[in-house]
Amino acid sequence: MKLQNLLSNLEKHHKKKLDLSLGRTFNLLKKLGNPQDKLKNVITVVGTNSKASMCYSLKSILNEAGYRCNMYTSPHLQFLRERFVYSDSEILDENLIKLLLDVEKTLGDDNATVFEILTCGFLKYAENFKDNINIIEAGLFHQFDSTNVFKKNLSTLIGYINFDHLAWLKNKTIDGIIHEKTTKLLNSNIFINQQYNREIYSKIKTSLINNTSNKYFYGKDFNILKAENGFIQYQDMLGEIILPEPNLLGDHQLGNVSTSIAVARKLFKVNDNHIKKGITKIRLKGRLQEIKSGKLKSLIGKNRLVIDGGHNIGASIAISNWLKKQNQDVHLIVGMMSDKAHREFINNFKNVVKSIQLIDIPNQEGSILKEEFKSKLNGIDINISISNSIEESIKSFSKNQDSIVLITGSLYLVGEVLNLN
């Protein structure tokens, strides 16, 4: 059985793709023998943006120090197995199929969403590697997310918090989002990444006031600055390190990397050399990733082809800030899901890009159609047009230009680009 067919079959176990509740997850975990209680060294990662960047940078540092990691992230870009990492390698497809069929059989006639089944499956298989470090990224918010099932953990990392997925919230304010992401964090060690503004930073601090964890805040307990000649300066309670720039584009990634460094230095046996090597070996797809070879790169010639799965207001600000520093003309190709803040996302590129082409996201139910997308952008002073496909958009640019063509708006779109290339 192919994985895509299996995923379609799993959808029959619950009428909704998303249903915020932990009851079904705990029911399935109990049937599986409560594997979550057998795992050691759990690190939970929550936030609106930056979760994957923190997961991958922390894993890369720990690997250099000799630690083995299991890692659960979502969504995947190309292959479902990307979500299931054990001892630093993705699970084999045949093992993943067997795992999910076994979990489905155990579920029986009970209800569970696909994400709940995948999460429980990850935890069950992780029993085979229970002494590893387990890096677990929350799927949606945290309070009722199916990753919030542990009785204890080593640490929680809090990434950038901003507006996204508001359709699932009753309280659609920043306070409501912060509450969902932080109110049920375990008492251990919490590391708080930099935030978009002081208000969010202060609200997070207030939300955690009754949590008895050791708390470490970016800008207070650890910090990172750009130094001369392509180096960065990291500081925390243990001292200062001069480091090479990480293998991630964008100044916003410095906060993500520094949070991971703070965790590694405080909780694990790592030295400066492990950190220096680790941050230059981060392998993260779809986040300001430049495509330097392949079919699509050949179509675009001298232009730079960059992809980023950013899909909310905070992400568009970070992408726009990076683009401003490139000193090149910029053209966007954008496709988004229907539940996003489309106008606000696009508006952050005003006075930064020369043109925007809107496309449908191929093979993705729930994406906004390009015509409707364009109708929402009336009055924004950017040259905006529609295109029928990723390839048609790319072919519209002269191969002899020296511009940046950035494809963004959705992780699902980025996955399609990688598949095409």
pLDDT reading at 366 higher than 80: yes
Confidence of residue 142 (pLDDT cuts 50, 70, 90): confident
At residue 280, the pLDDT reads: 97
pLDDT reading at 3 higher than 90: no
At residue 365, the pLDDT reads: 87
- Cα–Cα distance for residue pair 404/358, rounded to 1 Å: 16
- Tens of pLDDT, residue by residue over 215-244, are 999 999 999 999 888 899 999 999 999 999
**Average pLDDT estimate for 65-77:** 97
Q: What is the DSSP string of 214-247?
A: EEEEBTTTEEEEE-STTEEEEEETTEEEEEEPPS
- Cα–Cα distance for residue pair 25/41, rounded to 1 Å: 21
- Closest by Cα among 261, 254, 260 to 240: 261
- Closest by Cα among 134, 168, 169 to 154: 134
- Cα–Cα distance for residue pair 69/76, rounded to 1 Å: 18
pLDDT reading at 59 higher than 70: yes
pLDDT reading at 165 higher than 70: no
At residue 322, the pLDDT reads: 97
Instruction: Calculate the alpha carbon distances from 117 to 26, 108, 347 in Å.
Output: 11, 12, 38
DSSP code of residue 92: P
Residue 195 · residue 160 · CB < 8 Å: yes
* Cβ within 8 Å of residue 281, ≥6 positions away: 60, 63, 64, 247
DSSP code of residue 128: G
DSSP code of residue 67: -
- Cα–Cα distance for residue pair 118/80, rounded to 1 Å: 10
- Tens of pLDDT, residue by residue over 148-159, are 999 999 999 999
Burial class (CB in 10 A: 0-12, 13-18, 19+), 272: middle
**Structural Rg of the chain based on CA atoms:** 21
Confidence of residue 143 (pLDDT cuts 50, 70, 90): confident
Number of H helices, E strands in the chain: 15, 17
Q: Which two tokens stand for residue 195?
A: 């935030």
Confidence of residue 207 (pLDDT cuts 50, 70, 90): very high
At residue 21, the pLDDT reads: 82
**Average pLDDT estimate for 124-140:** 95
**Average pLDDT estimate for 376-401:** 95
Q: Which two tokens stand for residue 27?
A: 């029911």
- Tens of pLDDT, residue by residue over 85-120, are 999 999 999 999 999 999 999 999 999 999 999 999
**Average pLDDT estimate for 373-396:** 96
Percent above pLDDT 90 for the chain = 84
pLDDT reading at 168 higher than 70: no
Structural domains for the chain: 3-279 (3.40.1190.10), 289-420 (3.90.190.20)
- Cα–Cα distance for residue pair 370/368, rounded to 1 Å: 6
Predicted TM-score (pTM) above 0.85 = yes
- Tens of pLDDT, residue by residue over 272-289, are 999 999 999 999 999 999
Q: Which of 11-15, 247-251, 415-419 has the lowest mean pLDDT?
A: 11-15
**Average pLDDT estimate for 338-355:** 95
Is the model more confident about 363 or about 419? 419
At residue 327, the pLDDT reads: 93
Q: Which of 3-7, 58-62, 212-216, 320-324 has the lowest mean pLDDT?
A: 3-7
Is the model more confident about 172 or about 356? 356
- Closest by Cα among 174, 176, 87 to 133: 87
Confidence of residue 18 (pLDDT cuts 50, 70, 90): low
Confidence of residue 171 (pLDDT cuts 50, 70, 90): low
**Average pLDDT estimate for 67-94:** 97
